[in-house]
Structure 1
Amino acid sequence: MKKKACKVLVLGFLLWSGATSAQSNKVISVKTKAITAKIAPTMWGVFFEDINLGADGGIYAELVKNRSFEFFKPLMGWTVNGSQVKEGDILILNRKAENTSNPRYLRATVRKAEKEGVGLLNEGFRGMGIRKGLRYDFSVMYRQQHPGITLHIQLLNSGGGVIGDTVLIPAYQDTMWHKQQVSFTATETEPKAKMQLWLEGNGVIDLDIISLFPSNTWKNRPGGMRADMVQLLADMKPGFIRFPGGCIVEGFDLSQRYQWKKTIGPIEERQLIINRWNFEFAHRPTPDYFQTFGLGFFEYFQLAEDIGAEPLPILNCGMACQFNSAELVPLNELAPYIQDALDLIEFANGDATTQWGKVRADMGHPSPFHLKLLGVGNENWGPQYVERLKLFTNAIKAKYPDIKLVNSSGTDPDGERFDYLNNELRNMHADIIDEHYYRSPQWFLQNAQRYDHYPRNGSKIFAGEYAAQSDKTVSINNKNNWYTALSEAAFMTGLERNADVVNMASYAPLFAHTDGWQWTPDLIWVDNLRSYGTPNYYVQQLFSLNKGTAVVPVKLDNAVIAGQDSLYASACIDEKKNELIIKLVNVADKQQSYTIALEDAKPAATQASVTVLQSDERASVNSFEHPQYVFPRESVIKVPGKKIPLDIAPYSFTIVKIKL
């Protein structure tokens, strides 16, 4: 594998070493002043859904599973142990009438127990990823009417050895709930650690929200996000982030739908629900998959702000998943759903004197989040969607006319459902139509001209979810191989060429945990300590980092380049940098030689920068062991004048940047 990677690297640099042919009969012509479309700042973004342990067990850095005992099985993830535990010493109590958001808690009775007499072991999310020398912050909600119990906190490696420990002595003795924290440092790196709590002493104590976080969260925020995963997003410089999904917006039925108001405020007041990916696929059952909402709407908005992306929240439109229960809210009972949408806009944009703006301010963000986009429904279809959407649209536009609404075109890019919705949404003058396509690489290659003949005026397109499937949709054999990424790159040249029609695009799904995935392929793979971008990730990143501001024509034999000679191309200019950016995708198994002809401009330098993403083998993949097996390589080529010779490697995505 390492020898192969070296071969790819050497090949890439040889192709750009200047050993190109002096002239080529194949001329790629570019007109830099004939702008055909402006490119929206939101053109390339990311789509987040809590699937594949994307949130809990993933980007949300909490290490304790079922920290508040609210899973269907209250002690799932926990093991009661110890030499002095008797029947009834460990109980789960329910205070539903007192606290509907977080009703359960654990009551432990300790009778003159020694350190290892009464214990609770938490397994984490497929283990806990622990790093040597890193500080870990333990916290717990408790109440204890009388003093007498000490908590010993230990991290255990896979062999049961202690790799970090500390002691917490509860400071309060009354009937009120209190939160207390203690920190300690790990002495060993372990990807599959567990956390052991020993209760020493004599008495009764109630425990809830038992939590453990690494200190190196994103921006070092307590209780925050996993830094390496957020960094991979930040490195893409996405124009937007769509959240929280995806199918979890709908829920299996409406009781399991995503309700944003239950995901904000103090952590202990956020109401856990089952994740619909817990039971969706028989081939990947995940009975311990729930949503704690430690990553809630406030954190999503904050993340968007952190990485410089426009927030794009998606809300339930009164319809559950039509593949599952197809449950509907009657039209005359839809008002609370519409009010949730109006309240969300106020939460994001209202000042601190408004009801929901004050909630945001009280959470630590007095300034608005400047929400401009809002999605109504996810992959919904049929007349029942249209009639509900109209009610949402009328209410939102009446109060917030500047908010752009994203509307669903269903589950597929063609067929009766799609045709019906496309016609209805255009008649409604929909702002943005969300199209999804999970298809074969061949489909992506064949549809590189999909938007060439779309209407140039009216509704814009959001390519909201797409990914080439190496096997078939919903197959456990799908791989993030180089051919799927290459076909997506070819398709994306068509999206960019039609930037006056397509304003937004995002790959899906975003994250997958190697020990807890339900769906593949996925853009970024993680385990408890590591993460890496797939070849598909680098395609997305390269488009985003080389976005430009306006589209210009790039042609071969006076035609758009969308499959001729197995070549796909788009071109844009960055008006701020006065730079031409040409994207070329060669899906052939051989090198191809061309001449780039600048028809109406002169280069400002004798060299141009070249970035190549390439592999000789279409089945190539990245991995934890070889995370950069398929990885962008940069070099320069000579620019002798307005005609620039260029050799394009087989199975490659190439970006040429020329100063004008």
Structure 2
Amino acid sequence: MITQRWKRLTVLLFCVYAVPLTAQQPLKYTLKANEIKASVSPQMWGIFFEDINFSADGGIYAELVKNRSFEFYTPLMGWHQPAATAGNAQVLIINRAGTNQQNPRYARITKMSDKDFVLINEGFRGMGIKANEQYHLSLFARQQADKPVKITATLLDESGNAIGTTVIAPDSREWKQYNVSFSATQTSPKAKLQLTFQGSGVLDIDMVSLFPQHTWKQRPNGLREDLVQLLADIKPGFLRFPGGCIVEGRELATRYQWKKTIGDPGQREVSVNRWNTEFAHRSTPDYYQSFGLGFYEYFQLAEDIGASPLPILNCGMACQYNTGEVVPVTEIDPYIQDALDLIEFANGDASTTWGALRAKLGHPAPFNLKMLGVGNEQWGPEYIERYTLFAKALREKHPEIKLVNSLGPNPDGDKFNFLNDTLRKLQADILDEHYYSSPDWFLRNAGRYDSYDRNGPKIFAGEYAAHSKGIGNGDNKNIWQSALAEAAFMTGLERNADVVVMASYAPLLAHVDAWQWTPDLIWFDNLRSYGTPNYYVQKLFANNKGTSVVPLLKDNQPVTGQDSVYASAVVDNNELVVKMINVSAKPVAVDVAVSGVKGLAKTAQLTVLRSDNLAEVNSLDDPKKISPEEKVLPVKGRSIAATIAPWSVYVVRVARQ
């Protein structure tokens, strides 16, 4: 819904728009190309990943089988026994926690006759199957009787028709992994996997897994290609992982523990996802974490897309909105050791314990970790007490690692003020500010960092998004009004790059059938995906990051909403990059006089992102309804003249002479 403030502004500006365009005088801006105001951090515009909205399992992690190792609290959740064959066998879930704590459960299928018995896995709101794609099915099995049981695996479309089949014939009384590949004959967005057990006997099964052949870089246990490509196209400066509140857990027992997420996927301990019942209006009790996408894969993903890794670790505090559980400071050492070990895992050579493990997993070279987050969205003196212990230990052993520290869940108020004041006195490295608010808030705060202390800690705008209908209620949409307001705000981040060194929209991904939180940067179903208008704003800024900020002024002041325009400028090698955002309903003519150059090229590259409807959204059926358009802008002398269309983002790149 368009806010009343925007409505009033629109009515007013439409009245102004009624004046003939020939009477409009261009706004006069000055761009001082030879006055470097600040360097832009290479990590300036990045991405924040959290396993919310089925972002990992059921999302970017390409596994198609839900509850593949029977470890959900309800062991057969995701599995279905059709009534027609249910009486032909007994399914027993056996728990071997005494000998295998990481993957304790497996299923024993006892066939009393030769009549077929069927188990069907529903996938993550179905399975996205593509015609002619090859699929790799694997499972662990062992025979328990003289008469062997074989398995026919079949892909079923939404109508129950077979669209691909293969056979597995387990032949051992010991656990053994079986791998087969087969092709699908048709495309189905909500397919299922049917396992038909044939013959009489007893068969144990575990880790039933199905992957498409075409994962990102064709890796086994890989990631979904289209989603990773959307991330790579942003050209992000950093990848923050694994969250977010996932780091904290509802209680400490379900916090994210990175050491449990590396190595053999079959030995990664499954955990309930802390978002599964967080929101009553979007309860998802089948939301768990297999950790098939774990810390090794996160580091690998960051490297693949050219982003600096930014892992966030639990600091001995569970989510303060839930249990508020904390570990006593006298027992904090294991948490600190986890941080030290992670640095060794990322950067240590093969002579170190954790560096050797990284090499064994297939990555002898270090991951070049430079930053580490201590806690997620903690607040209060309890956080300061634990942060201080972390900082002391990490700075003593790894002074080269910059620490990212929480300023709580809000950009102001008592919690924020206490942390901001205290952490500045403690000379913290980087302070993580979060803001989810209305589009109006983002417009009003485009100058937020203009008056920040230039000698204090750096700022990480770690989570932000303009919400159209309040916070956390599920009614928010990725409308153009929100993306436009974010773009305006981001000019303020860029202008203050000497203070703000990183920024990331949040959350990143959302399944259209299994989300908990809106808005989100990228939406997907089981086969398709699209970037929102907000995505294209992030991409435009990241793809046009530049290396140095130069002043762009009107009446010797930064352009922070005067005449409804927000603007910033950077130098990128031999080019000037000017970003101008018009948040009004009328076109605005501007004339940017450039000083400090001998001349400019005769034409500039102009990228326009706009819509005539503030409530417009992209969708799976129309994924690029709002997306960038490339144009050529004539340039005369040392002046950039343009008429910025209503409700639009303009990015101008011009070579300087």
Task: Provide the TM-score with structure 2 as the length reference.
Answer: 0.95
The answer as to 2:150 corresponding to 1:150 is: yes
Residues 101-157 of structure 1 show CA distances to partners (whole Å, capped at 9, x for unaligned) of: 11000001124424xx11110100000000001000000011224462211000001
Distance in structure 1 (CA, Å) of the matches to 2:140 and 2:147:
15
Distance 1:465 1:25 in 2: 36
| Maintained 8 Å contact 1:482/1:617 | yes
Spell out, residue by residue over 1:590-636, the C-alpha distance to the aligned partner (whole angstroms, 9 max, x if none).
00111111122143421111000000110010001110010000101
Give the drift of 1:373.
Answer: 0.5
Aligned counterpart for 2:465 among listed residues 464, 467, 487:
467
* Alignment correspondent of 1:385: 383
Structure 2 unmatched ranges of 5 or more: 1-20
Q: CA–CA distance in 2 between the matches of 1:513 and 1:236?
A: 20
SS at match of 1:483: helix
Contact (CA 8 Å) 2:600, 2:635: kept in 1 or not?
A: no
In 2, Cα distance between equivalents of 1:194 and 1:431: 49
**Distance change (3 Å), C-alpha of 1:29 and 1:22:** farther
**In the alignment, structure 1 residue 476 sits paired with structure 2 residue 477:** no
Amino acid at match of 1:395: A
Please give the alpha-carbon distance, in whole angstroms, between the structure 2 residues aligned to 1:348 and 1:21. Answer: 61
What does the per-residue CA deviation read over 1:280-311, in whole Å, with 9 as the maximum and x for residues that have no partner? 01111001000000000000000000000000
1:440 aligned residue (438, 460, 463): 438
Cα deviations by residue, 1:380-434 (Å, 9 ceiling, x for unpaired): 0000000100000000111111000000000100011111100111111111000
The corresponding residue for 2:41 is 40
Deviations 1:457-501 (A, max 9, x none): 121000000000000000211010000000000000000000000
User: Is residue 277 of structure 2 the alignment partner of residue 243 of structure 1?
Assistant: no
- Is the CA contact (8 Å cut-off) linking 2:89 and 2:117 kept in structure 1? no
Q: Give the 3-state SS of the residue equivalent to 2:447 in structure 1.
A: coil
2:602 paired with 1:603: no
Q: Quick one: which amino acid aligns to residue 595 of structure 2?
A: E
Query: 1:71-101 CA distances to partner (integer Å, 9 max, x unpaired)?
Result: 0100001012375544872111100101111
Question: Judging changes above 3 Å, is the alpha-carbon distance between structure 1 residues 245 and 296 closer, same or farther for their aligned structure 2 residues?
Answer: same
Correspondence for 2:196:
198
**Residue type at the aligned position of 1:623:** S
Secondary structure at the counterpart of residue 81 of structure 1? coil
User: How far apart are residue 24 of structure 1 and its match?
Assistant: 4.2
Q: Count matched residues.
A: 635
Alignment-derived partner of residue 161 in structure 2: 161
Aligned to 1:613: 609
Q: Give the corresponding residue for 1:122.
A: 121
RMSD of Structure 2 on Structure 1 (CA): 1.3
Secondary structure of the residue that 1:211 maps to in structure 2?
strand
1:603–1:639 contact (8 Å) kept in structure 2: no
Residue 216 of structure 1 is matched in structure 2 by 214
Give me the whole-angstrom Cα distance separating, in 2, the residues matched to 1:459 and 1:370: 22
1:269-280 superposed matches below 5 A: 269-280=267-278
The answer to whether the 8 A contact 1:113-1:199 is kept is no
Shift of 1:22: 12
Equivalent position to 1:626, from 622, 629, 634: 622
> Is the aligned partner of 1:68 residue 2:69?
yes
More off after superposition, 590-599 vs 224-233: 590-599
CA distance in structure 2 between the partners assigned to 1:645 and 1:26 by the alignment? 10
SS at match of 2:281: coil
Of the three residues 646, 654, 657, the one matched with 1:658 is 654
Matched AA of 2:101: T
Q: State the match for 1:11 in structure 2.
A: none
The question of whether the paired residues in 1 share the 8 Å contact of 2:32 and 2:596 is answered with yes
CA contact (8 A) 2:88 2:113 kept: no
Alignment of 1:494-509 (within 5 A): 494-509=492-507
Residue matched to 1:593:
589
Q: Deviations over 1:356-381 (max 9, x none)?
A: 11111111111111110000000100
Runs of 4+ in 1 over 3 A off after TM superposition: 20-25, 81-88
Paired position in structure 2 for 1:417: 415
CA–CA separation in structure 2 for the residues paired with 1:337 and 1:594: 55
**Cα distance in 2, alignment partners of residues 357 and 636 from structure 1:** 50
Q: Note if contact 1:551-1:571 (Cα within 8 Å) is conserved in structure 2.
A: yes
Moved more, 200-209 or 610-619: 200-209
Asked whether the 8 Å contact 1:22–1:645 carries over to 2, the reply is no
Correspondence 1:19-418 to 2 at 5 A? 24-81=25-82, 83=84, 85-86=86-87, 89-114=90-115, 117-145=116-144, 146=146, 148-170=148-170, 172-174=171-173, 176-418=174-416
Query: Which range moves more in the overlay, 354-363 or 464-473?
Result: 354-363
Helix, strand or coil for the counterpart of 1:595?
strand
Distance 1:505 1:456 in 2: 18
Q: Which amino acid aligns with 1:101?
A: Q
Q: Which amino acid aligns with 2:92?
A: L
- Residues 485-524 of structure 1 aligned to structure 2 (within 5 Å): 485-524=483-522
Residue-by-residue CA offset, 1:188-216 (whole Å, 9 max, x unaligned): 10001011000112221110000101111
Distance between the aligned counterparts of 1:88 and 1:571, measured in 2?
A: 69
Does the residue aligned with 1:340 lie in a helix, a strand or coil? helix
Residue pair 1:603, 1:658 contacting (<8 A) in 2 also: no
CA contact (8 A) 2:45 2:504 kept: yes
Distance 1:148 1:63 in 2: 27
Spell out, residue by residue over 1:424-457, the C-alpha distance to the aligned partner (whole angstroms, 9 max, x if none). Answer: 1111111100000000000000000000000111
CA contact (8 A) 2:78 2:121 kept: yes
The answer for the alignment partner of 2:9 in structure 1 is none
What is the Cα deviation at residue 643 of structure 1? 2.0
Contact 2:617 2:626 in 1 (8 A): yes
The CA distance in 2 between the partners of 1:377 and 1:466, in whole Å, is 18
Q: How does 1:425-436 map to 2 (within 5 A)?
A: 425-436=423-434
Counterpart selection for 1:636 from 621, 629, 632: 632
CA distance in 1 between partners of 2:417 and 2:504 (Å): 22
| Contact in 2 for aligned 1:465/1:507 (Cα 8 Å) | yes
User: Matches of 1:435 and 1:168 in 2, distance apart?
Assistant: 53
- Distance (Å, rounded) in 2 between the aligned partners of 1:304 and 1:355: 23
Structure 1 residues 65 and 547, CA gap change in structure 2 (3 angstroms): same
Q: Among residues 570, 576, 580, which one is paired with 1:580 in the alignment?
A: 576
Decide whether the 8 Å contact of 1:252 with 1:321 is kept in 2.
yes
Helix, strand or coil: the match of 2:641?
Answer: strand
Amino acid across the alignment from 2:288: F
Deviation, 1:645, is 2.0
Aligned residues of 1:23 and 1:595 also touching (Cα < 8 A): no
- Unaligned 5+ runs, structure 1: 1-19
Structure 1 residues 148-193: Cα deviation after superposition (integer angstroms, max 9, x where no partner): 22110000011100001011112x423x321110010000100010
2-structure distance, mates of 1:84, 1:58: 32
TM-score of the superposition, structure 1-length normalised? Answer: 0.95
